[in-house]
Amino acid sequence: MVATCASATARTHVMAKSPLTNMIGSTNMGGFFAPELAWAGFHHLVIKGKAAKPVYLWIHNGEIEIRDASYLWGKTTTETEWAIREELGDEEIKSAVIGPAGENLVRFANVMTGIKNSGGRTGMGCVMGSKNLKAVAARGTMDIKIAHPIDALEYNKQFIDQITSAKVNQTQGALGTPFIWGATNSWGGVRTRNFQYNQLEYADEVEPENIDAWSKKSCGEYNMTACFGCQVHCRAKYKIPDTTLAQKFGLVGKYDEGPEYTSQGAFCSEPGCTKLDTLLIGNHLVNQYGVDNLEIGSIISWAMELYELGILTSKDTDGLDLKFGNDEALLEMVNRICYRKGWLGDILADGGIPAAEKIGKNSFNYLVQVKGMNNLHSDERATPALALNIATASRGSDHLRSRPAIDLYHLPQDVMRRIYSSPVPYDGPLSSDQREYIGKPWQVFWHENCYMAVDCLGICKYHTVFLGATLPNFEDWPKAIYYNTGLEMTPKEIWDVAERCNNLERLFNLREGLSRDDPKKGDTLSHRYFDEPCRRGAPDVIGATIDRKKFKEMIDEFYEYHGWDKNGVPTPETFKRLGLDNEPSHLL
């Protein structure tokens, strides 16, 4: 649906085998690249093989050219984008690029476009780097045909009004994703100091309102910006303040966008830092280097815990005092990882599991990951549905593939029933209590299909039921699809497409060694979820752990809905039902 009249059709999706998880690699970003590529005449690119020396692709009105990128090698993400515009003499060129992290084959390097749009999970930037592909540049002035233009326009208007009338999106449009932080940190839903605590104290400076105040001060009263065609405009603009730290890094006054909720995790809650400038600088560094903020924040915090435990020593860190709350050490480590500097920087750049193997000494025990990918800084011990979500997400620990985020809203039963029994009937239990285990497997299953459909449609999750129960889902998309493309689909058909995609990803992962209880490759959680109770937060959060037995039952039930056996392998009937029986990759 990219570049059509459906709302916020801005998303670029990048897929390959992940160098971080060795399983499905998949990442999705907003911005302006995808529509530009569409106006240049292409909706999908398949890039095979590897260039002998650095190159970039130049895609323009139906033509693709491979061009020399040696002069771009070493440049940061935005430097690269601006340089390509200058070389080709067109300010409207949009590029998907890698920064130094991708070039240096950091296994969780991003593909980036614009100032801050990050294809940030599973290391797709590393894949581009391994192909010597610095950038894909696009510029197009070709028409995208809209099947029923006037209807599409009117329906878009209706969508926009529905979307922007939701309180959650209004808040999002004022404060950006950090607005969630205010809530999750106060009830104890974030992970701090790796996994030791679940609430960040003395965090006033990095509360959303304070970030917003700085943002306004540095960028004017109207300080939000948006992806293509989006009226939610969820990202704040800011300039880096003049502080000692900013001076040290030579970044005073630099412009950037965000910081997102994940950056608050990476540069505040997980490493136990509480300063606004650290957050803003950290966010800028990851955007410029092109690296996954979430992964790098988690992995440094893990190293910090190892350092405090004495598993890592100052010899390993080349003298860096890598303790929790050391802002400068945190930012220095970002630098070292992206440039693979020093022993520790180099091994951390390979991701948690390989690094744990090199460090040894029980270090793996402290790594909070699923399938080799670190989790968002959220703490799911008090929310079994969310725990099930990260354990089973196809691309590894992941909050964007199946998270039933609205499970936290205590929705009335009839509202839940309305959402979850369509387009496929469901009359099983549903619980409005987020601490419950009952009914949750269905919710996770439903959201998994929902978000897959969203990603397939190329629209943004904030324009769907992701954070707002009244926002569009399966029932609303058929019209948008029909008016824009002329394709007639029922909600159930969209669901089926999503289910097929999810099963294909499952097959891929099974081929790569997924096995249910394997702590490194399975649908399971770090033992700390089961063994270490939450220490802080609201009364119903303190003392929470995930119950092993109930967790196992949730997984069983979740597999059942998919039509998978007890090991999570799709059954022959499931292949048949989905029309996948001719799919060769299931011949494992």
Note the residues at the interface with ligand SF4 (CB under 6 A).
8, 10, 30, 226-227, 230, 232-235, 460, 462
Distance of alpha carbon 140 from alpha carbon 459, whole angstroms: 20
Amino acid identity, position 357: E
Smaller CB separation from other proteins, 144 or 411: 144
Whichever of 10 and 20 has its CB closer to ligand SF4, that residue is: 10
**Secondary structure class of 48 (helix, strand, coil):** coil
In the complex, minimum distance from the CB of residue 242 to other proteins, in angstroms, rounded to a whole number: 17
Minimum CB separation from other proteins for residue 77, in Å? Answer: 12
Stretch binding other proteins (CB under 8 A), from 148-156, 474-482, 501-509, 528-536? 148-156
The three-state DSSP-derived secondary structure of 24-81 is EEEEEECCCHHHHHHHCCCCCCCCCCCCCCCEEEEEECCEEEEEECCCCCCCCHHHHH
Instruction: Please write down the long-range contacts of 85-94, taking CB distance under 8 Å and 24 or more positions apart.
Output: 88/58, 88/137, 88/139, 90/139, 92/36, 92/139, 93/36, 93/137, 93/138, 93/139, 94/31, 94/32, 94/33, 94/36, 94/37, 94/137, 94/138, 94/139
Q: How far apart are CA 527 and CA 547, in angstroms?
A: 11
CB of 509 to ligand SF4, least distance (A): 27
Tokens of 582: 């001719």
* Residue nearer to ligand SF4 on the CB measure, 56 or 477: 477
Q: Exactly one of 49, 220, 319, 425 binds other proteins (CB under 8 A); which one?
A: 220
Residue type, 202: Y
Residue nearer to ligand SF4 on the CB measure, 266 or 514 = 266
Task: Determine if 539 is a binding residue for other proteins (CB under 8 A).
Answer: no
Task: For residue 327, state whether it binds other proteins (rule: CB under 8 A).
Answer: no
CA gap 451, 502 in Å, rounded: 10
Q: Which is nearer to other proteins, 202 or 255 (CB)?
A: 255
Contact pick of 33, 39, 437, 564 for other proteins (by CB under 8 A):
39
For the chain, what's the residue count? Answer: 588
Select the binding partner of residue 146 from other proteins, ligand SF4, none (C-beta < 5 to 8 A, by kind).
other proteins
Nearest to 160 by CA among 231, 111, 98, 222: 231
CA-wise closest residue to 139 among 19, 43, 238, 39: 39
Given ligand SF4, other proteins, none, residue 462, with its beta carbon under 5 to 8 Å by kind, binds ligand SF4
Which 17-36 positions form the footprint of other proteins (CB under 8 A)?
32
> Looking at 43, 157, 217, 527, which residue binds other proteins (CB under 8 A)?
157
Our finding on whether 184 is near other proteins (CB under 8 A) is no
Site residues (vs other proteins, CB under 8 A): 3-5, 32, 39, 78, 82, 91, 114-115, 141-146, 149, 152-153, 156-157, 160, 164, 219-222, 224-231, 233, 237, 255, 257
